[in-house]
Chain A
Amino acid sequence: MRSPAETKLRWEETFKHGPRISALQRAIKFNGPESPCVAGLRSLCWKGFLLFPDASAEEWPRLLRQLRDSYDTLCEQHLKFIRHPEQLAALSFDPLADDPESPWITVRKDEAIRAEIQQDVSRLPDDPFYHQETIQTMILDILFLYCKLNPSAGGYRQGMHELLAPIVHVVAQDSVDDKQSSVTDTLDPPIVELLDSSRVEHDAFALFSKVMDRAAAFYEVEQNTIVEKSKYIHEVALLKVDEELASHLRDIEVLPQIFLIRWIRLLFGREFPFEQTMILWDAVFAFDPNLEMIDLICVAMLLRIRWTLLEADYSVALQLLLKYPVPPPPHGPHTFVDDALYLQNHFDAAGGVALITKYSGRLPAAASVTATVTSTPSRSSTPSFQGFGSLRQRTLGARSPLSSTTKLLQQPGGVEAILRGAAKNVIEKSEKLGINDAVRDAVGEIRRNMQGLQDTRNSPRINRTLFSDNSLAIFTLERRNQQLATMLEESITNLKQLVASDFEGDKQKQLETVEVAAAKIQYVKACLEDSTLDLPVEEPPTLATLSISTHPETRSPTVALDTTAVVMASSAVEEARSRLSSPASSDRNNTLASVPEEPPTESAAEEIIDKMDTDPPERKQTPPPARPPNPEPETSPSVIHTPTTMPTPKERPQGPIPTRSTLAQSSFAWMLEPDTTVSARSPPNRPLSSSGKKKHNPSREKNAFLFGEVVPNDGAAGERTVSPDEIFGLQPIRKI
């Protein structure tokens, strides 16, 4: 128990941002030592998030009183004879009678339940707090009551005690004794009432019950919910954001429930040190009181150790997962909630790449075709954005986990993710540390990413496939280099000006400048690394174009190239900022005001797939008007993003290649038959399998097969004269 003076200070610290939940959430967001849960009264924050999410703090005492009263009633009902055995003896029932109505029978059954619970309560973690007799009894009583009230939950389940114990700890720690005059002298009556030490048990019960509203499912035994949940996390969620890791875990036969049972049932309580777990819980309760993001938190944890996992065999992986390495500061466990929030909005391979790169500075090597396809539509290819769109289209065929040379190209949305990640970091850091640090960090980040991308530099694919005509290639490259140089020049000038101004003046503007410059540099880098990347004629699209989602309006083919980079980048700044400042990014209503964004739903997967199947018209492109007419490969007008109409498995695609575009529909089409331009106006929903064109075009047919079309096509493989890896550096695709 704290001194009244300290409690008063903590009270003020808790509510210095205002009495509303949203204010508390915002304050939690920047989880430093300033967090109201750390510097203030954690128990009050938890009560706010879990029990009174819609009420203002002034109403809390009244609401809490109701909860406490109902707990008293419950105790009277279920604990009477256990707390007062003498009253049982005073009853006129025969203790030995077999009458099922007899309270003696009930009490004996209850004692058995309590014995089972007690066995675990006495084995709570080492903290001496838990082993005080009063606390032991309190935890036992609460668990017992919970089981009595929820007989359908299957009784007490091991692990519930470790969900409850920290709650009791937190509530007791903040409590004050209203019988001490120093307390009543120092603190206002509502404070004393809210923190009443004689009501710790009541409040802990209320909080625990609320957590268990959702967590009970994790303990459920009949349907085996936890196994299903584990499967979902591995085979759907993780597969979506990091197929390589999901496949690896499957290949080494690590069953997800083996480690996820403990992660999830204890809300990660055994995975991290106590204090860090509490900060993690702060974030969970603040942003996800219904525990809907637990799956994504697990995914984020897997992503964080993905490099180690990828190298691990069965036992090493299992040992790692059962003894999860504590993430070092500043990226403590609570950052998994940040990651989960991010994944909620970026539930695709690009989102996975962004997180992996953020924490490891390394780019994943291969990403699955499946993930590529599903990740493509949501934010991709506004018509203005042919460059990245076609890049992505090309990556559709790339599936070569072992090849280290084509990393970037195989990376669905890799560039996009990096740009977005970098931008986000720049802003985040600027807000926290001031602009100087931000500039330094941005430069560092860019440098790091450059290293990560080195591998892709010498991608042989580009040389082999794109520039068969040398002079044309040189001409193209020179022109391209000039464009890129111009962009770099601008960025350098802007940054220099900023330095010259000694960072005085409008912070906002400076932020944007840094932001724009960083985005441009990143873009140039991406272009340098992949010479297949188209440059728009006027100004290269920057960050914003990447982030802007496929909102109908933005898809009009003319929006494209006349938007200046600055404008676009600043909208990206807005996007990122609104994401940061929104108290709960999970709240889809206030996620993005200015930039349309796909809603962060759990069914995002399905939506994305649906979209992919139905939105081709918007993705057709006509060549930008200003484009030179020569048939240079990079700017080939034949780039079509017509998606396939293949049925995409909605869940858990087992086979590696559910859907892909045909080569004929991709930006490679020009290669197959330079004289036959695939019409941009070809029917968008043309089913692959019935494509008549392929029939009289054997070369296209065979190459289309390379890109994994799931069309029974036995003859094609045999006819091949050049293997796919020879052409594209790709791994041949096994037929199904």
Chain B
Amino acid sequence: MTGLLMVIVLFLAVYAAAQIMRVYELSAKVREAREYEVTDKDNNTQGRLMLLFGIALLGSFVWMVFAWDKLALPKPASLHGVEVDKLWDISMGLIVFMFFIIQPVLFYFAYRYRGNSKNKAVFYAHNSKLEFIWTVVPAVVLAVLIIYGMTTWANTMNPTNDEEPIVIELYAKQFAWTARYSGEDNALGYANVRLVKGANVLGVDTGHVHAGDDFIATEIHLPVGRPILFRFRAQDVIHSAFMPHFRAQMNCVPGMETHFQFTPTVTSTEMRQDPSVQERVKRINTLRQGKGLELYEYNYLLLCNKICGSAHYNMQMNIVVETQAEYDAWVKEQKTIAETL
């Protein structure tokens, strides 16, 4: 029955639209014009709409920035993250500036030069000087951005540290993360997916010289202020280790090892005391209370950010950044591979 009604409604809608078209065409005929011809009145209306749209576009942009800026990721919690955010702010400032120049000019010109049957356009085909300017100015600006970007990238990917980084392996499989710490010798024992068996879920070669003191964790703990070298492996498909609070991301690829290094600078406790973070947690918890969900506490996160299968949307792990003393105490509690396997 509903199906039939839908068909009838659809039919009537199409019929109504056809009648409206006829009205447009007939009223054009009365004016001794053709419907498809653009009149001065059309140009006035559409030109004004263009101007109006331009204003609305910029207005809504400003509104969105005010309303939603608070949703953006909090301040970076890593050494290189501060540099990345600096480059981000400069690039963003530049493109917003350009947006606010080009869009108004476009919509204003559309309005200002709307057609009129009494007018004739100006025959103006080229101007070498003008074209030279808007080739060279972007080129210079981009040259600066390119050099700045390349420097930041080089510093991020090849950081120079005074101390040796702590080596941690992140192992990805559908749909969970596992961390393996390199232990006292700060070197990971050899591992390969072919050695995965029973409790040895990471395929560690238990006889390997560096393997014995390695230990496996289901939560990442990091000491603040120490460089960390993450080595990534994947068991089945490509995953991506995304740690947005640290401005860090690297794919985990089956059959090869990838790595990313950074130094965390803010402990989880300090982050929770940050006023903007507290504000955010309060807002989120108000929402969650309304829905009867369990309350939320701020944590650094590791997310999977490369499509990896049905539960891709829920492949996560907590990251705890703590003081050296807290970290040492946590490490002491962990059982090494020599003890567990």
Q: Do A and B come from one complex?
A: no
Q: Which residues on A are within 8 Å of B, measured CB to CB? A: none
